[in-house]
A and B are shown apart, each in its own frame.
Chain A
Amino acid sequence: MRNLRFTLAGLVTLATIGTVSLSTSVSANAATPSLTSCKTSIGSSEYTKGKLTVATDNPAYTPWFVSNTPSNGKGYESAVAYGIAKELGVKKSNVVWVHEPFNSSFAPGPKRFDFDINEISYTSARAQAVTFSNSYYDVQQSIIALKGSKIVKDHTPAELKTYQYGDQIGTTGLLFIDQHINPTKSTRVYNSLADAASALETKQIDAIVLDTPDGQYMASSGSGEVVNSKGKNIAVQVGQFPSVGEHYGLLFHKGNQLAGCVNAAIAAMKSSGSLAALQTKWLSIYTSVPVIEP
């Protein structure tokens, strides 16, 4: 999920993720019907008959979308949406995109879309307000540190506990530190990711934990969030932790029957390998980050 916020270093998509039931990844979903029956029944449950209405926020960010144009089929989430449509027998021309700000996507009342695809993390608390699909992307947390610092080399589970961590409040990264790394020094909490980044820059903390795509951005030369006196990037992504069940789900109006058919489509994409192929195609820079154990 995300909550778009401006940071000082630039307009960065922050994954501000909450109470993820990290250990249990069971989503509440309707009984999964067969794809064949879905192809015939889908028309009756669509928001606009004969069209599959898909929502996302504006702007929509890379690599989830490309050029802020969801309808071009480029970017992971755009491709997943069209993949699901294809499984359900909906023609590409019948997929309609609408803009839905994150903050209103879960507001009570009728929805203006069939589902919203917007990097929204599944949590049990959230699932009381809306219906989620099964996972279409498993989120992993990663460690960002200064180049050449001790943690870059020494990060066995025991060694990880000895460092000073810092993170932005309200993020799954912060939760991950407290629930999975259990460091001996208490974590420093900052109001914004930019504040955490400057704390790292000035060596007040040894590392930040944040999800892999955002970590990748922070460690990239263009981010400018953690720099030396010459403005050169000095952050590095040490590695990413294995998935602990945090995942993105499609957001439906609470109780929407269409969720069952979409789950069937996702399952089909998983078993055919097409979902994995889309991840390789659009998210390979993230999946290539080495995995370390907490």
Chain B
Amino acid sequence: MVNETDARLSEETPSFFAPRRKQLLLGRRAIVASTFSTVLIIGGLFAVFLLAPGGATVRHFFFNPHDMWQSFVGDHRDALSSVGLGLLTNIWVFLVAEVFVLTFGLAIAWTRMTKSPVLMPFRILAIIYSDIFRGIPVLLVFLLIGFGVPALQITFISNQSLAVYGCVSLILTYSAYVAEVFRAGIYSVPHGQLLAARSLGLTNATTMRRVILPQAVRTVVPPLLNDFISLQKDTALLSILGVIEAVQAGTIYQDLRFNSSGLVVASLLFLAMTIPLTRFTDNLIARDRNRRLASS
């Protein structure tokens, strides 16, 4: 039984004002508060950088403008390679890898999802492939491909440049990841869509192409772009094969001049390359979220 006093409604007039401290974070004051905290935190970090006991050394070692410029442009007469030119290698490897990764990733996802008994061995191969290349660290794939394949001494296959082996390593690894992204995307399309398409008499392939994939793409694009950002960065691993890309050029500069500003330059160039893509991806995710919220 409910106690009579408990059941009675309050007759006080409630106050809805936030406590004074919390009021600072409401309305227009919030802008002031956020500006203040931003300045404080960034300023604080900057102060640590400026005032640390080794700050001056670190600034010279990593951020010396002269060394940054020198490493960026390189100098043939001084046997220095250019970080800026090195980045071109990262870019072509990334672009080529991206095209192959999309194709192979989709093919692997497709293979894994087929039901035909004839394709059984391919399904098993696809599963083994995914397991292996999602399981081995990219670095090891680079070393195994980069030093193993040339040693096989097969005509054409063993005579490629090291950048090609690096590119192949990236393709092998990222195809496995991207295949999973595609698979998840395809599974995210409601089963009813498949039923509806098949009940119209569309073949399996037409259903995939006209109904499932167009819908899967929407869910697939953000994680796919994230994988591509990661792919862009992993082109830096070409350096361990001795390919003169941005990082390796920075390392050579560092080894020759005992100054790491070239690596900072490489970092900045990578940022310039990835930030547009990260911003674009985040926007896409936000837009998709808004649309979902609006339609429900």
A and B touching (Cβ–Cβ under 8 A): yes
Nearest residue in B to A16 (C-beta to C-beta)?
B255
Whether A175 lies near B79 (C-beta < 8 A) is: yes
Residues 105-120 of A at the B interface (beta carbon under 8 Å) = 106-109
Nearest B-chain residue to A8, judged by Cβ: B150
A244 within 8 A of B: no
Nearest-neighbour CB distance to chain A for B236, whole angstroms, equals 15
- Say whether B6 faces chain A, with CB atoms less than 8 Å apart: no
A18 to B256, CA, bound (A): 5
Contact flag A19-B242 (CB < 8 Å), given A8-B150, A107-B61, A169-B81: no
Q: In the complex, which residues of chain A have a beta carbon less than 8 angstroms from the beta carbon of B201? A: none
Asked whether any CB of chain A lies closer than 8 Å to the CB of B212, the reply is no
Looking at A46-54, A86-94, A125-133, A273-281, the stretch in contact with chain B turns out to be A125-133
Across the interface, do B255 and A19 meet the contact criterion of CB distance under 8 Å?
Answer: no
Q: Mark B244-259, 1 if CB is under 8 A from A, else 0.
A: 1000000110111111
Q: A18-B257, A103-B254 are in contact. Are A129 and B76 (CB under 8 A)?
A: no
Within the assembled complex, what's the spacing in Å between the Cα atoms of A6 and B243?
Answer: 11
CB within 8 Å for A126 and B243 given contacts A18-B78, A175-B78: no
Partner of B61, one of A1, A6, A129, A170: A129
Q: Give which listed residue, A8, A103, A174, A192, contacts B255 with CB less than 8 A.
A: A103
B61 & A19 in contact (Cβ 8 Å cutoff) = no
Distance in angstroms from B19 CB to nearest chain A CB is 48
List the A residue with the shortest CB-CB distance to B259.
A129
Q: How distant is the Cα of A16 from the Cα of B79 in the complex, in angstroms? A: 10
What is the interface size of chain B, counting residues whose CB is below 8 A from a CB of the partner?
29
Specify the chain A residue showing the minimal Cβ separation from B158: A8
Contact indicator A170/B76 (Cβ below 8 Å): no
Q: Is B279 an interface residue (CB 8 A)?
A: no
Q: Which residues of A have CB within 8 Å of B58?
A: 108
Cβ–Cβ < 8 Å partners of A170 in chain B: 79-81, 252, 255-256
- Count, A-B residue pairs, CB within 8 A: 83
Tell me which residues across on chain B come within 8 A of A16, comparing CB atoms: 252, 255-256
In the complex, chain A residues whose CB is within 8 Å of the CB of B147: 6, 8
Within 8 A of B (CB), among A5-49: 5-8, 16-19
Q: Digit string of B170-209 for contact with A (CB within 8 Å is 1, else 0)?
A: 0000000000000000000000000000000000000000
Bound Cα distance A130, B257 (Å): 10
Residue-by-residue, is B111-135 near A (CB-CB < 8 Å gives 1, otherwise 0)?
0000000000000000000000000
User: 8 Å CB contacts to B: which residues of A180-198?
Assistant: 189, 191-192, 195
Given contacts A103-B254, A103-B255, A108-B54, contact A191 B244 (CB under 8 A): yes
Residue pair B257, A192 in contact (C-beta under 8 Å): no
Question: Chain B 219-262, CB within 8 Å of chain A: the 1/0 string?
Answer: 00000000000000000000001111000000110111111100
Residue of A whose beta carbon sits closest to that of B56 = A108
Shortest Cβ gap from B201 to chain A (Å): 57
Least Cβ–Cβ distance between A209 and chain B, in angstroms: 12
Residues from chain A with a CB closer than 8 A to the CB of B162 are 191-192
Answer yes or no: A138 CB below 8 A from chain B CBs. Answer: no
A102 interface hit (Cβ, 8 Å):
yes
Once the chains are docked, how many angstroms separate the CA of A106 from the CA of B260?
10
Instruction: Tell me, yes or no, whether A62 is within 8 Å of chain B by CB.
Output: no
| Per-position binary interface string of chain B over residues 62-75, scored 1 when its CB falls under 8 Å from any chain A CB and 0 otherwise | 00000000000000
For chain A, residues 264 to 280, give those with C-beta under 8 angstroms from any C-beta of chain B.
none
Q: Which of A19, A109, A189 contacts B78 (CB 8 A)?
A: A19
Residue of B nearest to A187 (CB): B76
Q: Please name all residues of chain B whose beta carbon is closer than 8 Å to the beta carbon of A129 when the two chains form the complex.
A: 61, 257-259
Q: Which residues in B have their C-beta under 8 angstroms from that of A174? A: 79
A153 and B221 CA atoms in complex are apart in Å by: 65
Q: Does any Cβ of B come within 8 Å of A140's Cβ? A: no
In the complex, residue of chain B having the shortest beta-carbon distance to the beta carbon of A5: B242
B77 within 8 A of A: yes
Residue of A nearest to B248 (CB): A191
Find A169's partner among B54, B60, B61, B252 (CB 8 Å cutoff). B252
Assembly CA distance A192 to B244 (angstroms)? 9
Interchain CA distance A90-B252 in the complex, whole Å: 36
- B79, A109: Cβ atoms closer than 8 Å: no
Within 8 A of A (CB), among B25-74: 54, 57-58, 60-61
* B79 A19 Cβ-Cβ under 8 A: yes
Q: How far is the CB of A276 from chain B (nearest CB, A)?
A: 29
A58 within 8 A of B: no
CA distance A135 to B54 in the complex (A): 30
User: CA of A108 to CA of B242 in the docked complex: distance in angstroms?
Assistant: 25
A169 to B257, Cβ gap below 8 A? no
B203 CB, nearest partner CB in chain A, Å: 49
- 7 closest A-B pairs by beta carbon, nearest first, are A18-B256, A129-B258, A106-B258, A108-B57, A170-B252, A126-B258, A125-B257
Show 15 A/B contacts (Cβ-Cβ < 8 Å), sorted by A.
A3-B255, A6-B147, A16-B256, A17-B256, A108-B60, A109-B57, A125-B257, A128-B258, A129-B258, A129-B259, A170-B80, A170-B252, A174-B79, A175-B78, A191-B161
Q: CB within 8 Å of B: which residues of A?
A: 1, 3, 5-8, 16-19, 102-103, 106-109, 123, 125-126, 128-130, 169-172, 174-175, 178, 189, 191-192, 195
What residues of chain B have their CB less than 8 Å away from a CB belonging to chain A? 54, 57-58, 60-61, 76-81, 147, 150-151, 161-162, 241-244, 251-252, 254-260
